[in-house]
Structure 1
Amino acid sequence: MTETATILGLFLGKPEQRWDGKDPSAIRKTLADGVLQVTRTGLVGDQQADLAVHGGPEKALHIYPSEHYAHWREVFPDKSEIYRNGGFGENLSTQGFTEADLCVGDIFSAGSARLQISQGRQPCWKLNLHTDNPAQAASFQKTARTGWYFRVLEEGAMEAGDTIEVIDRPCPDWNLREVILARFNPRLDPAIASALSQLDELAEPWRASFAKKVDPSFREDISRRLPNGA
């Protein structure tokens, strides 16, 4: 497992009204220059459109491994211009590790900040519109190439070129990729769901979702997040 990566770029966005009849979105982000400050709610200068489902301390920073973009260019070659660093609305683009290399709760040094994996990304219809690809969000889920969110344990600063490195692993049994796949599995083993619902390092909304999956008859309604299904 690789536990060190390099920050290739930091990206900031602000809410825009991009689609008629739809809510604003800050998913389109631009590359930032120089050193950026990191607070408990993310990079200074970054904004979110809907604070009910984006941003906040448990989703302060979204990171996306640059390695995944080659996969998307191969699967959807007609959309290849989108599949570049920063293309999915991430705050950090990195090279060196992916979801399969890490665990929920991993703690990292990144510049002078300290970060912790809190949950995977839960893609919605905005990703489809942003990429002009109606299959994008569902493909994210099925492949677990979602990227993930950090909470900020210690505020600091970072810039492109900095190393991001695992410095502690409190939950070695909970591989991040496997947890992401579990989150979107409609027939998850109730024992796994129960254990994840009690994992303190996991963000509360994901713990609550796993708590519901303890009931084998539970079926999650995703129609609002993914109107065309997954």
Structure 2
Amino acid sequence: MKIISTNIGDRKEITYKNKKVTTGIFKYPVEEPIFLDKEEVKGDEISDRKHHGGIYQAVYGYSQKHYEYWKPKYPELEWNFGMFGENLTIDELDETKIHVGDTFKVGEAIIEATLQRNPCYKLGVRFNNMKIVKQFWSTTMCGVYFKVIEPGLVNVGDELKQTKSSKTNPTIADLYKQQKEIKGIK
């Protein structure tokens, strides 16, 4: 697996249901390396610390392959990597094959897969269409949250080299399916 794009976002104020809300979901590719720190990507806006950032959600990765699925559904959008709020766009990230606890060396950092990404209304705001939230739930293309074991810089072209496998743990897709059942989403 290889990093195709590194993405960060600024704080943005939006109006949702007649209320002002801040978000960091509007992420865009950057040319320089990004620093993966213990609880966040340095320089990246995290507006909702209850659901993003922190030790177990420090870095969000999403697959470049998933873009191929979504682009035809939203041809009117101006597409760029970072559209799903990910910090790392990775060429072949597969939630059905990555297990909780799988650990990777990437650039100077060491990261560990921890959780799935559950979509919220801010993804709908980003896509200018709330349908994306339900469509996102209907797949296992949720992306992967990573814990940062060893902070460091990562850059486009860096490879994720697996250093630990946790095949006895559930996959990220398994966690996502469990969340869907718990929430009663059909």
User: 1:144 offset after TM fit, Å?
Assistant: 1.5
CA distance in 1, matches of 2:134, 2:162: 29
Of Structure 1 and Structure 2, which has the larger fraction of its residues in helix? 1
Q: Give CA-to-partner distance per residue, 1:21-70, whole Å, 9 cap, x none.
A: 14111100121222222210122111211212221111100110010011
- Based on CA coordinates, which of the two structures has the bigger radius of gyration? 1
Gaps of 5+ in 2: none
Provide the TM-score with structure 2 as the length reference. Answer: 0.90
CA distance in 1, matches of 2:2, 2:27: 19
Answering whether residue 148 of structure 2 is matched by residue 152 of structure 1, we say yes
Structure 2 residue aligned with 1:185: 181
CA distance in 2, matches of 1:148, 1:70: 18
Structure 1 residue aligned with 2:105: 109
Residues 1:79 and 1:167: Cα distance change in structure 2 (over 3 Å):
farther
CA distance in 1, matches of 2:93, 2:114: 17
Answering whether residue 109 of structure 2 is matched by residue 87 of structure 1, we say no
* Partner AA of 1:181 in structure 2: K
CA distance in 2, matches of 1:185, 1:18: 30
CA distance in 1, matches of 2:169, 2:60: 23
Higher relative contact order (CA 8 A, sep 6+): 2
Please tell me the root mean square deviation across aligned C-alpha atoms, in Å. 1.8
User: 1:86 offset after TM fit, Å?
Assistant: 1.2
Answering whether residue 134 of structure 2 is matched by residue 138 of structure 1, we say yes
Which of 151, 157, 161 is the aligned partner of 1:161?
157
Structure 2 residue aligned with 1:46: 44
User: 1:175 offset after TM fit, Å?
Assistant: 2.2
Contact 2:77 2:127 in 1 (8 A): no
Contact 1:142 1:181 in 2 (8 A): no
Equivalent residue of 2:12, what SS?
coil
Answering whether residue 25 of structure 2 is matched by residue 27 of structure 1, we say yes
Contact 1:116 1:153 in 2 (8 A): yes
Percentage of matched positions with identical amino acids: 25
CA distance in 2, matches of 1:41, 1:97: 21
Contact 1:7 1:94 in 2 (8 A): yes
Which of 44, 62, 65 is the aligned partner of 2:63?
65
Q: Give CA-to-partner distance per residue, 1:112-163, whole Å, 9 cap, x none.
A: 1110111000110111111012111111111011111001011111111100
Answering whether residue 28 of structure 2 is matched by residue 10 of structure 1, we say no
Equivalent residue of 2:70, what SS?
helix
Equivalent residue of 2:23, what SS?
coil
Equivalent residue of 2:126, what SS?
helix
CA distance in 2, matches of 1:176, 1:16: 29
